[in-house]
Structure 1
Amino acid sequence: MRLLDHLAALSPPRALRRARRLAAAGARARAARLYSVAAAAGLVEAQNEVAHAYLAGTLFPRNPAEAARWFRAAAEAGHVPSQCRLASLHLQGLRAAASGPGLFPDDHWAADDAPGADYPAALAWARKAADSGSADGQSLLGFILANGPEGILDRDAALDWYRRSAAQDWPQGHLGLGMLLMSRADTAEKTIEAMAPIERAAEAGLPTAHFLLGVIHEQAVGVLPDPSRALMHYRKAAIHGIRNAQAKLGAMLLAGSGCAPDPVEGESWLRRAAVAGDPEAAALVGDLYARGGDLPPNYAEAAIWFRAAAEAGHRTAARALGMLYLTGAGVVRDADEAARWLARAASGGDAAAQANLANLILHRQVRSASVDGLPIHEWFERAAGSGDAIGAFNYAVCLTEGIGVARDEAKGAMWLRRAAENIVNAQYWYGRMLLEGRGVPADPEAAYGWISRAADTGMTDALALQAEMKLHGRGTARDHAGARDLFLRVAETGHPGAMFALGALHGGGHDIPVDRAAALHWYRRAAEANHPLAQLMLGRWLRKGLAGPPEPAEAETWLRRALAQGVEEARSDLVDLAAGPEPAASRAAGD
Structure 2
Amino acid sequence: MALKTRLASMVSRDARLKHAITLIESGEDAVQGFALLGQLATQGSVEAQYRTGKAYLEGWGTPPSLEDGTRWMRKAAEAGHVQARLMLGTLYLMGFPEGFDENRPAILTDNRPLKRVPDFHQAAHWSRLAAEAGQPDAQALLGYVLTNGPEGVQDRAEARDWYEKASAAGSAQGHLGLGMALHSSPQSPEDLARGTERLEKAAEAGLATAFYFLAWINEQGIGQAPDLGAAARYFEKAAERGIVQAQTRFALYLMQGKGVARRLDRAETWLRRAAMGGDAEAAALLGDLHVRGEDMAPNYLEAATWYQIAAELGHGAAARGLGLLYLTGTGVQPDPDEAAKWFRISAECGDRIADADLGNLALTGVGSEQDRAAMQQRFLRAAENGDLVGAFNLGVCYAEGVGTERDDTRAAYWMQRAADGVVNAQYWLGRMYLEGRGVPEDHARAVEWLEKASQARMAEAMTLLAQICVSGRAPGGNDHPRALALYIQAGEQGAVEAMFSAGAMLGGGHDVQADRREAQRWFRLAAERGHGLGQLMLGRYLKRGLAGEVNPVEARVWLERAQAQGVTEATAELAKLERRLGGRG
Give the TM-score of the pair, scaled to structure 2: 0.61
Q: Which amino acid aligns with 1:286?
A: G
Q: Which amino acid aligns with 2:310?
A: A
Q: Structure 1 pair 305/106, CA: closer, same or farther in 2 (3 Å)? A: farther
Shift of the alpha carbon at 1:216?
Answer: 0.5
Shift of the alpha carbon at 1:257?
Answer: 0.8
Corresponding residue number in structure 2 for 1:345? 346
| C-alpha distance in 2 between matches for 1:375 and 1:209 | 53
| C-alpha distance in 1 between matches for 2:274 and 2:303 | 16
| C-alpha distance in 2 between matches for 1:324 and 1:356 | 14
Corresponding residue number in structure 2 for 1:516? none
Corresponding residue number in structure 1 for 2:272? 271
Corresponding residue number in structure 2 for 1:42? 44
| C-alpha distance in 2 between matches for 1:205 and 1:42 | 38
- Select which of 19, 29, 45 maps to 2:31: 29
Corresponding residue number in structure 2 for 1:242? 243
| C-alpha distance in 1 between matches for 2:315 and 2:166 | 39
| C-alpha distance in 2 between matches for 1:310 and 1:55 | 37
Once the two structures are superposed, the pairs formed by residues 79-158 of structure 1 within 5 Å of their partners are 79-94=81-96, 99-102=101-104, 113-158=114-159
Corresponding residue number in structure 1 for 2:173? 172
Question: Of the two, which has the highest radius of gyration?
Answer: 1
Equivalent position SS for 1:217: helix
Q: Which amino acid aligns with 1:76?
A: E
Corresponding residue number in structure 1 for 2:216? 215
Shift of the alpha carbon at 1:209?
Answer: 0.7
Q: Structure 1 pair 359/273, CA: closer, same or farther in 2 (3 Å)? A: closer
Shift of the alpha carbon at 1:204?
Answer: 2.2
Shift of the alpha carbon at 1:194?
Answer: 2.0
Give the TM-score of the pair, scaled to structure 1: 0.60
* In the alignment, structure 1 residue 377 sits paired with structure 2 residue 378: no
Q: Structure 1 pair 16/393, CA: closer, same or farther in 2 (3 Å)? A: same
Is contact 2:399-2:406 (8 Å) kept?
no
Q: Structure 1 pair 401/46, CA: closer, same or farther in 2 (3 Å)? A: farther
| C-alpha distance in 2 between matches for 1:100 and 1:37 | 20
| C-alpha distance in 2 between matches for 1:373 and 1:391 | 6
Once the two structures are superposed, the pairs formed by residues 191-340 of structure 1 within 5 Å of their partners are 191-340=192-341
| C-alpha distance in 2 between matches for 1:148 and 1:374 | 48
Equivalent position SS for 1:225: coil
Is contact 2:17-2:36 (8 Å) kept?
yes
| C-alpha distance in 2 between matches for 1:374 and 1:208 | 50
Say which is worse superposed, 338-347 or 186-195, in terms of deviation: 186-195
- Select which of 78, 81, 94 maps to 2:80: 78
Count of residues paired in the alignment: 409
Is contact 2:379-2:390 (8 Å) kept?
no
In percent, how many aligned pairs have the same letter? 38
Cα deviations by residue, 1:428-468 (Å, 9 ceiling, x for unpaired) = 99xxxxxxxxxxxxxxxxxxxxxxxxxxxxxxxxxxxxxxx
Cα deviations by residue, 1:325-384 (Å, 9 ceiling, x for unpaired) = 222333333322222222222123323554552132464659999x99999638997589
Equivalent position SS for 2:233: helix
Is contact 1:346-1:353 (8 Å) kept?
no
Q: Structure 1 pair 304/355, CA: closer, same or farther in 2 (3 Å)? A: closer
Is contact 1:69-1:100 (8 Å) kept?
yes
* In the alignment, structure 1 residue 162 sits paired with structure 2 residue 163: yes
Q: Structure 1 pair 188/305, CA: closer, same or farther in 2 (3 Å)? A: farther
In the alignment, structure 2 segments of 5+ residues that lack a partner are: 1-8, 417-427, 439-585
Q: Which amino acid aligns with 2:255?
A: L
Shift of the alpha carbon at 1:155?
Answer: 0.7
- Select which of 60, 63, 72 maps to 2:62: 60
Q: Structure 1 pair 376/332, CA: closer, same or farther in 2 (3 Å)? A: farther
Q: Which amino acid aligns with 2:301?
A: A
Equivalent position SS for 2:61: coil
Q: Structure 1 pair 34/421, CA: closer, same or farther in 2 (3 Å)? A: closer
Once the two structures are superposed, the pairs formed by residues 437-456 of structure 1 within 5 Å of their partners are none
Shift of the alpha carbon at 1:413?
Answer: 5.3
Say which is worse superposed, 50-59 or 261-270, in terms of deviation: 50-59
In the alignment, structure 1 segments of 5+ residues that lack a partner are: 1-7, 430-591
Is contact 2:67-2:102 (8 Å) kept?
yes
Shift of the alpha carbon at 1:105?
Answer: 8.8
Is contact 2:409-2:437 (8 Å) kept?
no
